[in-house]
């Protein structure tokens, strides 16, 4: 069973851009969340650069505190 640890957020911050690990961690967060939403903060049509804010709530059954 998937368990998301809060330290996984730290891993995401230091993971190289576009890495498979980052993609996997994001998928894990969504899979373990009971609700989520995304807000598009900006899009630059000339460069294709975008910024998205992802916010949600992890399911309690899938969540482990940092000290575990």
Q: What is the pLDDT of residue 66?
A: 46
**Is the Cβ–Cβ distance between 57 and 33 less than 8 Å?**
yes
The answer, as to whether pTM is greater than 0.75, is no
Give me the number of domains the chain comprises.
1
What dihedral angle (degrees, nearest 10) is formed by the CA atoms of 45, 38, 52, 67?
Answer: -170
Range(s) of the domain holding residue 18? 4-64
Q: In degrees rounded to 5, what are phi and psi of residue 52?
A: -125, 135
Per-residue confidence of the chain (68 residues) as pLDDT tens digits?
556 777 888 888 999 999 998 998 888 888 888 999 999 999 999 999 999 999 999 887 666 654 44
């Amino acid at each position: 069973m998937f368990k998301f640890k809060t330290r996984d957020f730290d891993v995401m911050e230091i993971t190289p851009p576009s890495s498979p690990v980052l993609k996997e961690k994001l998928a894990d967060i969504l899979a373990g969340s009971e609700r989520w939403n995304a807000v598009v903060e900006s899009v630059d049509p000339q460069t294709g650069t975008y910024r998205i804010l992802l916010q949600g709530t992890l399911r309690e059954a899938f969540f482990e505190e940092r000290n575990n």
